[in-house]
Amino acid sequence: MKVTINGITAEGESHKDVFQQLASLQEVFDNRVCGACGSEHVKFVVRTVDDNNFYEIQCTEIKCRAKLAFGQHKKNNSLFPKRKDDEGNWLPSSGWTKYVPVTKES
């Protein structure tokens, strides 16, 4: 069976298979609006540092430049948006963060 919802297509042998695929795909690819400023101008980015790939969605608005980082499941190599901090607390703006440089106080 093949199902397309909001432009996202999943295929499987059972409803459960298709449902799991749609849920996983929507969690990653249905982030088409910046959670910090609301802009639709976002892009998918993969950064490589040494042998590690980092997956994120970045807002391309010059005044914003927020990003949504993704973690990687160890078992099936799938991605998930990082919406909680290291202590398990929900992040503001649904996980979208802006870089704020640390300034020296004079």
For position 106, what pLDDT does the model report? Answer: 53
Q: Model-level pTM?
A: 0.80
Domain boundaries defined on the chain: 1-30, 33-100
| Model pLDDT for residues 61-98, shown as the tens digit of each residue | 999 999 999 999 988 889 999 999 999 999 999 999 99
Farthest CA pair distance, the chain: 65
Beta bridge partners of 43: 58
Helix (H, G, I), strand (E, B) or coil at 52: strand
- Reported for 86-89, long-range contacts at CB under 8 A and 24+ positions apart, including other chains, are none
d(CA 12, CA 10): 7
